[in-house]
A and B are shown apart, each in its own frame.
Chain A
Amino acid sequence: MQKKTIVIDPVTRIEGHAKITIDISEEGVVEDAKIHVTQYRGFEKFCEGRPYTEMPALTARTCGICPVSHVVSATKAIDEILGVTPPKAGVNIRKIVNLAQMLQSHTLNFYHLSSPDFIYGFDAPKEDRNIFKMMQTHPQMARDGINLRAFGQKIIEDLAGKRIHPTGIIPGGASHKIEESTKEAILEQVPAMLKIAHSALEFFRDNLHKFQEEIDYLGAFPSLFMAITNDEGTLEHYDGKLCFMDSEGNILKDKIEPRDYKEFIGEAVEDFSYLKSPYYKPLGYPQGMYRVGALARVNIAKTCGTPLADKELIKFKALNDGKPVLNTFYYHYARLIEMIYAIEKIEELLKCDETMSDNVRSTSTVSYERGVGCSEAPRGTLFHEYHVTKDGIITGVNLIIATGNNNLAMNAGVKQVAQRFVDPKNITDGALNRVEAVIRCFDPCLSCSTHALGIVSSKVEIRDHNKKIIKVFERS
């Protein structure tokens, strides 16, 4: 058989633009598969020369779905440069906004991007695997998704000024205190939102038995996991130390100060993608592959620290007898637990008296030449590192975007699922959907902030070993 390459370009129902290639050997089997991130951003370069004060607003433009994470990591990096410790109220406001973003982001992935696969199955006609069909057959579920997202977005708007690219999270803390009426309006909605999040988790769990093959082959492999943790070992998204865990649950290294991340994380570059390939330095490249995001966080956390999420975490950890859950498909499960956690934690933080204090910001001037800000974005650990002159002009930037941490694992997942489901003699839409679905499990955020030109249609090209196209599949 002639050597071929199958190209899925672009990958659909993810944030951003990517393509997948599947190489078929002369023996007619899947030899390799890769995800190629095809957009180039250049933030690290064009931020040079800007005043440090612009960094939260500039880097927020990296994305339209998780700008809060960039604002949080940027302001934390600047906090270090200024040598300030934000007051408790400022920190709690940041935490609430960060959790609200995680809630709306996870909601978007579950209801709008992934639920069509869960409802209709991976082999359903592609005309049915979309949000329009879901609105017809599961209208209440669709309304639930809208309400949950609106809840998260409204919190971001009320506490940080804008739903997208908010301006209220600033170096030293937050720009304004939470009004009592805002607090009451949020708390009033908490019971209804918890009910929605629970019903989503129950729906997912009730349908898991239909997806045993996907659970077993959509990126099920041993890897390291990385997340930030606090001193209590509870689920943490805002502050803490870095922790690396292996696939058996052994802690390889913990209590790593985020500012020392370069001692443990290397950044490799491959010629087939603009996305960097970070790895755990002590194990080398590519053996140091690790996963981040919801699955890593709930694997590493001993507890969530909130009652309802903790009940769910116990059930989750039982999936692999207390050892880390290795199946990438369970990222969906982990995100649903985090949704419950986020609502509970927002309630807890709002009810904390210190959160409502007038003292929300500390101020200072440039005190240090380097600052590192690290937080847990919806998709994983996010690093912002800035270098400045004594006048506060940026001279160097290094970003490790949450999704980038998963680059090696995403490629391993694509290869595994392609080898399992893609039959080169009979390439089905269901098989190609599964190849995309493993990427969707990671919920990668590859996107720029707004409108991208061009229609996101999915095209699969089969090419021979000379890159000559011999067959094209149009998938939308």
Chain B
Amino acid sequence: MRVIIGYGNELRGEDAFGVDTIKKLQKLSLKNTKLLSLHQLTPEIVLQLLDANEIIFIDASYDEKNHYALACPLTEQDNLNLSHHISPKTIIYMLNNLYKNMPKFLIYSMMSRSFDTIEDTLRYQECVDAVALYLSLEGQKIDF
């Protein structure tokens, strides 16, 4: 089964990208796909991912220069000093080491420089639509 996790804070402008993309995907009735809309990633989420063979994380990533680019940042803003939320890397590490589940995983990020407001509603929505459409089409190709 494929699990798509969109996460972010709907009150923090473009940080809502993951959550808004999940809302779009919910209208598309994807087969063999579980959709999770989360405020943030927390350790107990792994219990909802135990039967996943592919996990897709959707998030906004802070980037001053490449606003509205769709990409995956290669340098993860992550470290060992955990507080109340964790990263996709930690989620996958937990699945691998605690539950012997080795899912394929992908991260889809929209570069954003604004976690206060949605600066350009049209371009923001284009990004949401583009990722939702792509994941919808990819889901049709793959037999889970």
Contact = CB atoms under 8 A, between A and B. Distances in A.
A455 B9 contact: no
Interface string B72-84: 0000010111111
26 contacts: A12-B81, A13-B82, A64-B85, A112-B43, A126-B80, A131-B80, A132-B93, A135-B97, A135-B98, A136-B97, A143-B99, A146-B47, A149-B42, A149-B44, A162-B39, A163-B39, A164-B39, A447-B84, A450-B39, A450-B40, A450-B85, A451-B15, A451-B40, A456-B83, A458-B81, A476-B81
A429 B48 CA distance: 37
A265 interface: no
Contact of B81 (A13, A16, A139): A13
B57 interface: no
A3 to B, nearest CB: 30
Which has the most chain B C-beta neighbours within 10 Å: A13, A147, A456? A456
B93 A64 contact: no
B94 interface: yes
B47 A150 contact: yes
A15 interface: yes
Given A13-B82, A131-B80, A451-B15, A146 B46 contact: yes
A127 to B, nearest CB: 8
Contacts of A136: 97
Interface residues of B, number: 28
Which of B40, B44, B80, B84 has its CB near the most chain A CB atoms (within 10 A)? B84
Contact of B84 (A108, A142, A162): A108
A102 B84 CA distance: 14
A65 interface: yes
Nearest to A162: B39
Nearest to B78: A455
A164 B40 contact: yes
A470 interface: no
A113 B81 CA distance: 8
Interface in A15-36: 15-16
A451 B83 CA distance: 11
B89 to A, nearest CB: 10
B105 interface: no
Interface of B: 8-9, 11-12, 15, 39-40, 42-44, 46-47, 62, 77, 79-85, 90, 93-94, 97-99, 115
B82 A113 contact: yes
Contact of A142 (B39, B77, B94, B115): B94
Contacts of A454: 77
Interface string A124-168: 001100111001100100110111011001000000001111000
A476 B43 contact: no
B39 to A, nearest CB: 4
Contacts of A207: none
B14 to A, nearest CB: 11
Contacts of A162: 39
A13 B83 contact: yes
Given A150-B47, A451-B9, A14 B83 contact: yes
Contacts of B79: 455-457, 476
Contacts of A16: 83
Contacts of A108: 43, 84
Nearest to A457: B79
A64 B90 contact: no
Contact of B98 (A143, A163, A453, A456): A143
Nearest to A456: B81
B83 A153 contact: no
A65 B115 CA distance: 20
Contacts of A142: 94, 98
A379 to B, nearest CB: 13
A165 B9 CA distance: 11
Given A145-B43, A149-B44, A450-B12, A135 B83 contact: no
Contacts of A147: 44, 47
A61 interface: yes
Contacts of B8: 450-451
A429 to B, nearest CB: 13
B11 A113 contact: no
Contacts of B90: 131-132
A281 B43 CA distance: 41
Contacts of A65: 84
A146 B94 contact: yes
A136 B8 CA distance: 29
A132 B98 contact: no
Contacts of B47: 146-147, 150
A389 interface: no
B40 A64 contact: yes
A234 interface: no
A146 B93 contact: no
A139 B98 contact: yes
Contacts of A143: 98-99
A126 B79 CA distance: 12
